[in-house]
Amino acid sequence: MQPSGIRAFFDLVLGMKDVISLGVGEPDFVTPWQIREAGIYSLEQGFTSYTSNKGLYKLRLSISRYLKNRYGLEYCPDEEILITVGVSEGFDLVLRSLLNPHDKVLIPTPCYVSYPALTGLAGGIPVCIDTKHDGFKLTPARLEEAAVKNKPKAIILNYPTNPTGISYSKKELEGLKKIILKHKMICISDEIYADLTYDFEHTPFPTLSGAKEKTIYLSGFSKSYAMTGWRVGFACGPKEVIAAMTKIHQYTIMCVSITSQMAACEALVSGKKSVEEMKREYRRRKELVVAGLNDLGLSCHNPQGAFYVFPCLKGIGRKSMEFAQGLLKDQNVAVVPGTAFGESYEDYLRISYASSFENLKEALARIEKFLNK
């Protein structure tokens, strides 16, 4: 396996002081207090043991009820839900459970860095579908073309998307679903950013008619409730797949930390208001950053979700790694070069607006200074 080529740049950032970072893939809020307090209380009460492999029944039941109320999506807490160490573990489990050696997996790119790597680790072959000529959205036509050519076992969807922030409307998803079902693919849908969708209602893939039996739905608490460090995610899907995933999970992980699971239960009880507040704040920052970057000639589409924008450097004639290194050394502002998400994204940057209003304003001013040098 290749070590991530971006590591050296990351190490450079980690070694510097007083950096304004727009390179962070996690919320800048701390976990809301009532959720932290529930974790502390569980420790005081002496909840320090293992839980069942699948996770606390109470948490699975809460997730099941939440999905039913929110989306009308029904998963049985006994057999169709597994609590995982973030979505990352869920991904690893799904791929290891589903793939036979050399099975192909379609991955729209640019994408989160783990997808191709984990596919390879599970013995599969990642097949990337570049979306940069289609506004970073997978289109039915490109999907059809890739499906015919590669006969894939599965496809990985992630929306809202890290690193571009794009998402799909229900109508767009219907278009993709037709082709996924036609070619008998399994859809692995990572919807961790679902609660941070700004322009329309998020549609979980398994809510599309006929899709649920063919979908493994992955989500978690990290982004919506600012709980990245707690490491709690969940996988929902047909019971045969969840059973296979649970087998691997029970030998490698045993169970997710009970403290984190107890805190996650509280998040589902009382976190809704905090989620709404964070979402409104993110949406305002997004508009500020998108307008600011476009004013500077870093052309960028207006994303529908998550907390990333993926501006293009072509207009100013720069390349991502050179730009990111220069900006860091010159102005102490960190961004992630597009090449972190694949070699073909050297004309792009990922900028995270999970940072305070003051930081974003200051960072934009410094980028302007850097460009005028």
Any contact of residue 73 with another protein (CB under 8 A)?
A: no
Contact 142, 134 (CB under 8 A): yes
Candidates 44-52, 187-195, 259-267, 277-285 — which segment interacts with another protein by CB under 8 A? 277-285
Q: Indicate the residue among 273 and 361 with the shorter CB distance to another protein.
A: 361
Any contact of residue 292 with another protein (CB under 8 A)?
A: yes
**Binding flags for another protein, 27-46, as an x/- string (CB under 8 A):** -x-x----------------
Candidates 25-33, 58-66, 121-129, 254-262 — which segment interacts with another protein by CB under 8 A? 25-33
Q: Indicate the residue among 263 and 336 with the shorter CB distance to another protein.
A: 336
Nearest to 269 by CA among 40, 66, 46, 64: 66
Candidates 24-32, 54-62, 214-222, 246-254 — which segment interacts with another protein by CB under 8 A? 24-32
Nearest to 32 by CA among 275, 230, 232, 229: 275
Contact 200, 169 (CB under 8 A): yes
Candidates 15-23, 59-67, 134-142, 165-173 — which segment interacts with another protein by CB under 8 A? 15-23
Nearby residues of 209 by Cβ (< 8 Å), 6 or more positions away: none
Instruction: Give the integer Cα–Cα distance in Å for 63 and 77.
Output: 8
Instruction: Give the integer Cα–Cα distance in Å for 257 and 255.
Output: 6
Any contact of residue 162 with another protein (CB under 8 A)?
A: yes
Candidates 8-16, 60-68, 171-179, 310-318 — which segment interacts with another protein by CB under 8 A? 8-16
Any contact of residue 371 with another protein (CB under 8 A)?
A: no
Q: Indicate the residue among 149 and 284 with the shorter CB distance to another protein.
A: 284
Q: Report the residue from 75, 91, 112, 310 that binds another protein according to the rule CB under 8 A.
A: 112
53 vs 84, 174, 199, 217, 256, CA distance in Å? 9, 35, 38, 19, 8
Instruction: Give the integer Cα–Cα distance in Å for 75 and 252.
Output: 24
Any contact of residue 291 with another protein (CB under 8 A)?
A: yes
Any contact of residue 25 with another protein (CB under 8 A)?
A: yes
Q: Indicate the residue among 75 and 341 with the shorter CB distance to another protein.
A: 341
Q: Classify each residue of 18-52 as buried b or exposed e, where b means 16 or more C-beta atoms within 10 Å of its C-beta.
A: ebbbbbebebbeebbeebeebbeebeeeeeeeebe
Residues 211-240 that bind another protein (CB under 8 A): none
Any contact of residue 113 with another protein (CB under 8 A)?
A: yes
Q: Indicate the residue among 270 and 332 with the shorter CB distance to another protein.
A: 332
Any contact of residue 21 with another protein (CB under 8 A)?
A: yes
Candidates 21-29, 190-198, 202-210, 311-319 — which segment interacts with another protein by CB under 8 A? 21-29
Nearby residues of 146 by Cβ (< 8 Å), 6 or more positions away: 106, 127, 129, 152
Any contact of residue 357 with another protein (CB under 8 A)?
A: yes
Element (H, E) at 66: helix 57-71
Strand, helix or coil for residue 262: helix
Half-sphere exposure for 341 (CA within 13 Å, toward CB)? 27
Please state the closest distance from residue 347 (CB atom) to another protein, in A: 19
> Residues in the chain, how many?
373
**Binding flags for another protein, 302-341, as an x/- string (CB under 8 A):** --------------------------------x-x---x-
Any contact of residue 121 with another protein (CB under 8 A)?
A: no
Q: Indicate the residue among 292 and 311 with the shorter CB distance to another protein.
A: 292
Find residue 285's DSSP bridge partners: none
DSSP letter string, 331-373: H-EE-EEGGGG-GGGTTBEEEE--S-HHHHHHHHHHHHHHHH-
Any contact of residue 280 with another protein (CB under 8 A)?
A: yes
Q: Report the residue from 24, 127, 244, 275 that binds another protein according to the rule CB under 8 A.
A: 24
Q: Which residues bind another protein (CB under 8 A)?
A: 10, 13-14, 16, 19, 21, 23-26, 28, 30, 112-114, 162, 280, 284-285, 287-288, 291-292, 334, 336, 340, 357, 361
